[in-house]
Structure 1
């Protein structure tokens, strides 16, 4: 029942997109590695249905799991699970795995850059200088604020948010307050509070939570209205966490001073999106977590988890832990039917 490469006789590890080549070395000789787009592997649905393990960096259609008789695990080369039909995987006994913390430093560094770009109007200055301005920009700079001593609000308190908190507090002398649904303990330099409190106290709000049914649309007109006049917002979570139309309105009215956004409801950002017309928006193409170092670390972790799956071991970063008994039963059946 378990699909094998007809040439090598090995289980198939499908990469939806390239990962770090050096990280793949441990799979040599134990799995046949194919990449979506290779000859015979052009279409994602039949490709997933033939694979033993899929390393995920793009959306997996739910229908791909409908007849995925050989699939053991979907391993997210990253953290967010919105690319994976988790409920369907749980029902089938397919392990869902991710690589938490691997890109936390990369995202945290990007967040601080996005804060500075918004608060100090760096992208606006760059653009205006190229248009011939100079004196006007220098005059406007007298009204800019340092972020030292400001309050950073975090929505979400996972590995990324914790790294942001560390850099913001110890590197920029910011006070940090966080809202977390996970119940994780705080840190000595971070105050935990309910979301309304974080919204009302934050000079800069950073969205760093996963996209779930509970967080979808969590920051809407009511929540934005609770924020301080002149506050800024950074979104490195998912676009759908915030009401984009309401955010554009809050920026246009001057209620918020800036928004630095790495994620959007629709990607790429549509050509007619109102964010494109706002000087107070700093836009990046969902690259906060992408650096050479982060990609290498995520790839290493993903391959380590793939090796555990192939060896019949429980993955260290198993997301659907409540399904472990069902997963083990599926793996046993697949092994027995080889």
Structure 2
């Protein structure tokens, strides 16, 4: 029997069923890093199921029995992987478990930007009828540039292709790609894409990938969609690009600091469609991610000698 710490308030029943016979500790809805450190100190878990907050070296040192940190999702940037490696702690992720959900959110944001869904809805509710003055953007025949061609990027690419879009993509780690994706380098994304959608993990190398310099290299009126990590974008540069019209619209599901607080410059700003990092939050993805996270953790523990 092992002790599992879940950095959240719940897991899907299907995931909990896999943990029958194990001790499961829940950190609550919004645990802080300090909360996680204290729970590690008190319970000394063998496994952490990482849902919310961050986990670093201090928490790892507080749990000498810790063997594995398993992400309830695909992005592991909230885990100090260098510290984990130094301590022999495995870091695993539920890659692909929420691919359909996030890809659909990216498409929804792209459509909301091109079809002015949010602004037209507000105008209609206010009693206006803008048929004579409004023109939408048609996606068929336009080029979408994808940065990141993992499970989510590939799923999105398939939907974009079905809409009649040309799909170009950059991912140095992607191997075989379907024939409807043209593999390109980043300069071609900036030069050719009518819309750019981010689907890559956040690393120190790509932090601020979309910045004043790269946004200036993009086509005028480009659309930016981000359902990956907020740190991929220099938010002040994006704000300036939207205000100038260099970016026609930005559809964002992730932000540099989360949760977004009152007074953020994107709030109330024309040209932004915002959602609170819920791309992967569907009933199906909740089950898929929970089950995958638990299975990944159990698989690592099965290869480890039991803690004395």
TM-score bucket of the superposed structures, by smaller chain:
over 0.9
Question: Could you list the per-position Cα deviations for residues 283-330 of structure 1 after superposition, in whole angstroms to 9, with x for gaps in the alignment?
Answer: 000001110001111111112122223322xxxxxxxxxxxxxxxxxx
Q: Corresponding residue for 1:276?
A: 267
Aligned mate of 1:98, from 93, 101, 104: 93
Quote how far apart the aligned CAs of 1:280 are: 1.0
Deviates more, 1:54-63 or 1:89-98: 54-63
Quote how far apart the aligned CAs of 1:237 are: 1.4
Quote how far apart the aligned CAs of 1:168 are: 0.8
Query: 3-state DSSP class of the match of 1:83?
Result: coil
Deviates more, 1:145-154 or 1:269-278: 269-278
Does 2:176 align with 1:222? no
Aligned mate of 1:21, from 13, 21, 37: 13
Q: Corresponding residue for 2:131?
A: 138
Q: TM-score, normalised by structure 1?
A: 0.85
Aligned mate of 2:61, from 51, 63, 66: 66
Aligned residues: 300
Separation in 2, partners of 1:78, 1:140: 43
Quote how far apart the aligned CAs of 1:276 are: 1.1
In the alignment, structure 1 segments of 5+ residues that lack a partner are 1-9, 313-330
Does 2:80 align with 1:80? no
When Rg is computed on C-alpha atoms for both structures, the one with the higher figure is: 1
Maintained 8 Å contact 1:16/1:35: yes
Separation in 2, partners of 1:307, 1:64: 20
Q: Corresponding residue for 1:159?
A: 151
Quote how far apart the aligned CAs of 1:33 are: 1.4
Separation in 1, partners of 2:133, 2:190: 27
Aligned mate of 1:53, from 47, 52, 62: 47
Query: 3-state DSSP class of the match of 2:146?
Result: strand
Question: Could you list the per-position Cα deviations for residues 153-206 of structure 1 after superposition, in whole angstroms to 9, with x for gaps in the alignment?
Answer: 001111100000011102x11110001132433221100101010111111100
Residue pairs, 1:279-294, within 5 angstroms: 279-294=270-285
Maintained 8 Å contact 1:217/1:243: yes
Separation in 2, partners of 1:220, 1:43: 34
Aligned mate of 1:212, from 203, 209, 213: 203
Q: Corresponding residue for 2:139?
A: 147
Query: 3-state DSSP class of the match of 1:271?
Result: coil
Quote how far apart the aligned CAs of 1:79 are: 0.6
Q: Corresponding residue for 1:108?
A: 103
Maintained 8 Å contact 1:155/1:208: yes
Query: 3-state DSSP class of the match of 1:55?
Result: strand
Quote how far apart the aligned CAs of 1:281 are: 0.3
CA RMSD, 1 decimal: 1.6
Separation in 2, partners of 1:178, 1:19: 35
Separation in 1, partners of 2:254, 2:233: 10
Deviates more, 1:263-272 or 1:84-93: 263-272
Maintained 8 Å contact 1:51/1:71: yes
Question: Could you list the per-position Cα deviations for residues 127-171 of structure 1 after superposition, in whole angstroms to 9, with x for gaps in the alignment?
Answer: 22233322xx22332x3221111111001111100000011102x
Separation in 2, partners of 1:310, 1:213: 30
Query: 3-state DSSP class of the match of 2:131?
Result: helix
Q: TM-score, normalised by structure 2?
A: 0.93
Maintained 8 Å contact 2:252/2:275: yes
Maintained 8 Å contact 1:37/1:43: no
Maintained 8 Å contact 1:72/1:95: yes
Separation in 2, partners of 1:48, 1:140: 59
Q: Corresponding residue for 1:318?
A: none
Separation in 2, partners of 1:96, 1:16: 15
Maintained 8 Å contact 1:57/1:83: no
Quote how far apart the aligned CAs of 1:37 are: 4.0
Query: 3-state DSSP class of the match of 2:197?
Result: strand
